[in-house]
């Protein structure tokens, strides 16, 4: 049941989502003397890293490229932060910049009121008495920042018969470790970073592991990718692509011999121009080469009992299935705006670097799949723009008042 709160909380800026993007915007605003309020549906900041990431996860980029604005990682931090270290860093970041966050507030509706020239936001909050009761809180702000993430909702494809599969079925967001999977036949569906790392985790723990690899992918190592990141400040993208491919050829050889075909477009160009990201190898490839991990090339078509049928007609029995099939943004569920900032897929409609600012004080951060680096850039741009507009306000209001006098 939902009860409506009577009062509207007035703010200058409302930010939806307390992941790294929302926190970075709030911090950059705070440094410019602007107080923002962050509304977060979960009960903690950085919930992706605490609640939707597997135990062995480390950041793929070195700490130099994984820090939020104005808060570099200390020398004592490891080069590649573990999930828990990054979550702790986000806690510290929020505290250091005095980020005001209201947790357990799920934004259900945000629309612009042109008469009042402000955004009206409704958030569902758990009622004090518990028992599943929800209070609808109302907020109003001149500026609204969408920072609810590209991973707001799990995506699992529809597979006929899956509901009757007798074994364990989970999404990568629910996978923590291979505990209980030893000796079991496990199918991992999806060959992005999560799928490839989960397959490694399972195989290393003694699960009989198969992975569906349908798409072409660029396999790189952390070290190669960090060299690419470092060179990107000095060299054109096509040169970086060539260097990365050369280094990959030395390290991996021809990956297509083992079912991992590389796209025609180079890895760095791909990162910059498409939503796809290279796969950072954590040891999966060695296990594919030795046959410890079996690569299945065709899509899952249907499930009958414990047998999975694939698009190429092959059938294999499994004890468990992990869907590493990605996530979706849910912005279109709650943002009522047709200014073209957010597309039908809930992501920024315009491509980088034109993606971050809409009409009427609407912005988005972290919505063009550019990872931590993208969150930082968006935060500085958004905070700079909002603080500039807030500074202009008294002057404009003054001019308007003078105009009204005549
Ligand atoms: C397993 C995994 C590993 C990754 N590793 C890396 C990496 O190593 N390096 C890298 O650069 N990127 C990595 N990424 C990409 C990653 O998505 C982004 O870097 C980062 O999480 C994006 O931060 P964000 O704040 O934009 O989104 P999120 O971290 O998803 O934060 C969005 C927040 O908004 C909240 N929210 C959503 N909807 C609402 C609502 N309606 N009301 C209120 N709150 C809401 C969510 O609960 C969440 O806390 C990884 C992603 C995954 C899934």
Distance from the CA of 400 to the center of ligand 1, in angstroms? 42
- Enumerate residues 6+ apart whose C-beta is below 8 A from 66: 59, 73, 81, 86, 372
Confidence of residue 276 (pLDDT cuts 50, 70, 90): confident
Does residue 380 register a pLDDT over 70? yes
pLDDT at position 5, please?
Answer: 62
Closest among 184, 183, 217 to 324, alpha carbons compared? 217
Indicate the top mutation candidate among 73, 146, 149 to test ligand 1's pocket, ranked by most ligand atoms within 8 A of CB: 149
Task: Report the residue among 105, 137, 152, 279 best suited for mutation to probe ligand 1: largest number of ligand atoms under 8 A from its CB.
Answer: 152
Q: Are residues 335 and 316 in the same domain?
A: no
Residue 256 carries which DSSP code?
G
Confidence band of 126 (pLDDT split at 50, 70, 90): confident
Q: Which of 185, 229, 224 is nearest to 206 (CA)?
A: 185
Report H helices in 213-283. Answer: 222-231, 237-252, 267-273
Which residue is associated with the tokens 């990054």? 86
Best mutation site among 151, 222, 329, 378 for ligand 1 pocket (most ligand atoms within 8 Å of CB) = 151
12 and 130 belong to one structural domain: yes
- Which phi and psi angles does 119 have, rounded to 5°? -90, 135
320 and 336 both lie in a single domain = no
> Do both 197 and 170 map to the same domain?
yes
**Edge-to-edge, what's the strand order for the sheet holding 315-317?**
300-304, 307-310, 315-317
Whether 1 is in a domain gets the answer no
* Pairwise CA distance, residues 202 & 369, whole Å: 27
Residue 295 lies in a domain: yes
Torsion of Cα atoms, 118 then 370 then 296 then 164, to 10°: -20
Q: What pTM was computed for the model?
A: 0.94
> Looking at the 3D structure of the chain, how many domains does it have?
2
Residue 169's domain comprises 156-326
Question: What percent of the chain is modeled with pLDDT above 70?
Answer: 95
Q: Which atom of ligand 1 is nearest the CA belonging to 373?
A: 11
Strand bridging mode 362-364 / 320-323: unpaired
Please name the residue that has the structure tokens 């900032």. Answer: 341
CATH of the domain at 207: 3.50.50.60
Chain centre distance of CA 78: 22
C-alpha distances out from residue 308 to 167, 168, 393, Å: 12, 13, 62
- Find out whether 321 and 296 touch, Cβ atoms under 8 Å: no
Percent of the chain with pLDDT over 90: 88
DSSP one-letter code for 8: E
Report which ligand 1 atom has the smallest distance to the Cα of 48. Answer: 29
Output DSSP code: residue 274. Answer: S
Residue 321 and residue 304 in one domain = yes
| The pLDDT of residue 402 is above 60 | no
Per-residue pLDDT reduced to its tens digit, 248-265: 999 999 999 999 999 999
**Distance (Å, whole) CA 154 – CA 162:** 16
Instruction: pLDDT band for 329, please (50, 70, 90 cuts).
Output: very high
Residues with CB under 6 A from ligand 1: 16-22, 39-42, 47-48, 53, 57, 59-61, 106-107, 147-152, 194, 330, 334, 366, 371-372, 375
Residue 366 φ/ψ region, left for φ over 0, alpha for ψ in the -120 to 50 degree band, beta for the rest: left
In 3D space, the residue among 93, 91, 21, 23 whose CA is nearest the CA of residue 374 turns out to be: 21
Domain C-terminal end among 292, 326, 360: 326
Task: Give CA–CA dist 91/45, Å, rounded.
Answer: 7
The stretch 230-242 carries a mean pLDDT of 95
Cα–Cα nearest to 186, from 171, 203, 172: 203
My answer on whether 176 and 251 are in the same domain is: yes
Assess whether 361 and 319 both reside in one domain. no
The number of beta carbons lying within 10 Å of the beta carbon of residue 263 is 15
**Can you tell me the mean pLDDT for 49-72?**
96
Find, among 84, 93, 106, 124, the residue nearest to 26 by Cα: 93
Residue 93, pLDDT > 60, answer yes
269 with 244, same domain: the answer is yes
Residue 212 CA to residue 172 CA, distance in Å, equals 14
User: Considering just the CA atoms, what is the radius of gyration of the chain in Å?
Assistant: 23
Q: Identify whether the C-beta of residue 10 lies closer than 8 Å to the C-beta of residue 37.
A: no
In the predicted structure, residue 240 carries a pLDDT above the cut 90: yes
Of the three residues 326, 348, 371, the one that is the final residue of a domain is: 326
46 alpha carbon – ligand 1 mean position (Å):
7
Q: How many angstroms is it from 49 CA to the middle of ligand 1?
A: 8
What's the pLDDT score for residue 129? Answer: 66
Mean pLDDT of the chain: 94
Write out pLDDT tens, residues 333-365.
Answer: 999 998 899 999 999 999 889 999 999 999 999
**Pair 187, 319 in one domain:** yes
**Six-digit token string for 161:** 């018969």
Residue 2 maps to a domain = no
404 alpha carbon – ligand 1 mean position (Å): 47
Atom of ligand 1 nearest to the CA of 367: 26
Strand partners, 328: 153
Residue 114 has pLDDT above 70, yes or no: yes
Q: Encoding tokens for residue 286?
A: 């060695």
Q: In this structure, is residue 88 part of a structural domain?
A: yes
Peptide bond into 353 cis (omega under 30): yes
């Amino acid at each position: 049941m939902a009860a409506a709160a009577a009062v509207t909380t007035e703010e200058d800026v409302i930010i939806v989502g307390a992941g790294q993007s929302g926190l970075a915007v709030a911090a950059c605003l705070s440094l410019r003397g602007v107080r923002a309020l962050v509304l977060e549906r979960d009960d903690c900041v950085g919930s992706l890293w605490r609640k939707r990431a597997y135990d062995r996860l480390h950041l793929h980029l070195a700490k130099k490229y994984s820090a939020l604005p104005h808060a570099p990682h200390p020398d004592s931090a490891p080069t590649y932060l573990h999930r828990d270290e990054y979550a702790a860093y986000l806690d510290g970041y929020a505290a250091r910049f005095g980020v005001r966050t209201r947790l357990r507030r799920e934004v259900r509706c945000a629309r612009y009121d042109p008469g009042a020239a402000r955004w009206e936001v409704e958030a569902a909050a758990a009622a004090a008495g518990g028992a599943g009761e929800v209070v609808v809180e109302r907020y109003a702000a001149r500026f609204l920042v969408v920072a609810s993430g590209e991973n707001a909702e799990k995506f699992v494809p529809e597979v006929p018969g899956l509901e009757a599969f007798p074994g364990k079925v989970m999404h990568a967001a629910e996978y923590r470790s291979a505990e209980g999977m030893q000796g079991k036949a496990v199918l991992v569906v999806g060959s992005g970073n999560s799928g490839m790392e989960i397959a490694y985790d399972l195989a290393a723990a003694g699960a009989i592991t198969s992975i569906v690899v349908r798409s072409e992918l660029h396999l790189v190592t952390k070290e190669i990718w960090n060299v690419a990141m470092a060179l990107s400040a000095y060299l054109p993208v096509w040169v970086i692509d060539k260097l990365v491919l050369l280094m990959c050829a030395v390290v991996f050889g021809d990956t297509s011999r083992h079912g991992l075909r590389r796209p025609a477009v180079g890895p760095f160009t791909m990162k910059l121009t498409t939503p796809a990201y290279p796969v950072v190898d954590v040891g999966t490839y060695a296990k594919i080469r030795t046959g410890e991990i079996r690569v299945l090339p065709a899509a899952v078509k249907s499930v009958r009992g414990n047998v999975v049928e694939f698009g190429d007609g092959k059938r294999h029995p499994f004890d468990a299935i992990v869907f590493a099939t990605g996530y979706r943004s849910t912005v279109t569920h709650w943002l009522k705006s047709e200014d073209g900032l957010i597309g039908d897929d809930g992501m920024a409609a315009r491509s980088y670097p034109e993606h971050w600012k809409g009409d009427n004080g609407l912005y988005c951060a972290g919505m063009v799949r550019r990872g931590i680096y993208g969150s930082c850039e968006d935060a500085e741009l958004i905070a700079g723009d909002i603080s500039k507009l807030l500074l202009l306000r008294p002057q404009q209001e003054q001019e308007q008042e003078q105009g009204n006098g005549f």
